[in-house]
Amino acid sequence: MKALVILILLAILASLGSGLYYLTRDSRDSQRSSRLLKALQIRVALSAFLVLFLVLSYTMGWLGTYSQ
């Protein structure tokens, strides 16, 4: 469970980094906006999936509260 969440977070960070790269390095043309938009779409989709996955996991009882 932890590995999956960490993997998704790393994918979100990679998408964020690629979006930043496309924003700063590409020339001002339609290719820039399409690649930047694609990176943003991937990041938003992964973030939404992560939130839904965590909510579903909590409601199914796969995640518990941490107590010492």
Q: What is the pLDDT of residue 5?
A: 92
Give the residue with greater pLDDT, 3 vs 1: 3
pLDDT at 31: 59
Contacts of 47 (CB under 8 A, 6+ apart): 12
| Tens-digit pLDDT profile for residues 3-62 | 999 999 999 999 999 999 888 887 666 656 788 889 999 999 999 999 999 999 988 888
Within a domain: residue 8?
yes
Residue 67 within any structural domain of the chain:
no
Coil, helix or strand for 29?
coil
What pLDDT does residue 4 have?
92
Does the residue 66 lie in any domain? no
Asked, for residue 27, whether it belongs to a domain, the answer is yes
Better-scored residue on pLDDT, 49 or 1:
49
Q: Domain tally for the chain?
A: 1
Q: Where are the alpha helices (DSSP H) in the chain?
A: 2-25, 30-60
Q: Does 50 fall in a domain?
A: yes
Q: pTM of this prediction?
A: 0.79
